[in-house]
Amino acid sequence: MTTYLTPALAWRRLREGNERFVSGDTLHPNQDASRRHSLVEDQHPFAVIFGCSDSRLAAEIIFDLGLGDVFVIRTAGQVIDDAVLGSLEYSISQLHVPLIVILGHDSCGAVTATKAAVETGEMPAGFIRSLVERITPSVLAATRNEQTDVNEMVVEHVKQTARRLADSSRVISAAIEEGRTAVVGLSYKLDEGRAELVSGIGEL
C-alpha cells in the first residue's frame, strides 16, 4: 500500500480531486470499512496539507480524498510554530510524503485581524496576539507591494509560509533539494471551492 508518487503526480492527484469537488462529481474514495481496516497497522499518505483551521476548509473534502490519503496539520491562519514544524518534518522523514501543501483561503479571519492590528496599532488580547504577530510579516510584505486587500494578503501569507518552511527546516530543505518532495502554496476560493496555485518550491 506504499505510495510511490512523485511530487508532480501527487500534485496532479490533488488537482483532479479538487476539480471533482468544484464540479460536484465527487467520488468520496477510501471512506469505507475495508479502507479503514487496511490502515490499522500503517499509513502512506501521498501529501501533507498544512492549512488554516477554518471550518470551511476541510482538506479531505475539498480534494475529494479519504482515510490515509493525506496527513493534515491545521492552525488558524496556517501559522507556523515548533509543533507544526515537527509534524511536517515527521511527515517527510517518517512517512516520506512527496508533497507539502500550504493551504490558505480568502476572507481569512486571522489575516483580517492582522491587517486591522497593523493599520490601527492595536493588538488583540490573549493568545490571538501570537497569531497576529506571526502573520504580521506577511501583511507588511503585501502592503509594501501595494496589496491592501485581505485576499491579496492571504496569497502573500501563503507564499511567505512556504518560503519559511523551506528556510527553517533542514529536513524539508534537504528533501526539496534531493527532489524527494516539493512545496505548493494554494489559495482556496470559498464561493467556487477551487484551490488555486499561488507558489511552488521544488520540482513539479
| Residue 204: band (very low, low, confident or very high) from pLDDT cuts 50, 70, 90 | confident
The residue extents of the domains of the chain are 7-201
The percent of residues in the chain predicted with pLDDT above 90, rounded, is: 97
Length of the chain as a residue count: 204
What integer is the mean pLDDT of 163-172? Answer: 95
Residue spans of beta strands (DSSP E) within the chain: 47-52, 70-75, 99-105, 182-189, 194-201
pLDDT, tens digit (0-9, with 9 covering 90-100), for 89-139: 999 999 999 999 999 999 999 999 999 999 999 999 999 999 999 999 999
Beta strands 182-189 and 194-201 are antiparallel
Q: Is the pLDDT of residue 19 over 50?
A: yes
pLDDT band at 3 (very low <50, low <70, confident <90, very high): low
Q: What is the pLDDT of residues 31-52, one digit of tens each?
A: 999 999 999 999 999 999 999 9
Non-local (6+) Cβ contacts of 87 within 8 A are 48, 71, 73
Is 1 a residue whose pLDDT tops 90? Answer: no
**Cell triple for 83:** 509543533
7-201, which class in CATH?
alpha beta
pLDDT at residue 69, as a whole number: 97
What is the spatial distance between Cα 49 and Cα 186, in angstroms, rounded to a whole number? 10
How much is the pTM? 0.95
C-alpha distances in angstroms, 103 versus 35, 39, 108, 194? Answer: 26, 25, 11, 11
- Mean pLDDT of the 138-147 span: 96
Q: How many whole angstroms separate alpha carbon 172 and alpha carbon 165?
A: 7
Closest to 96 (Cα-Cα) out of 60, 59, 46: 46
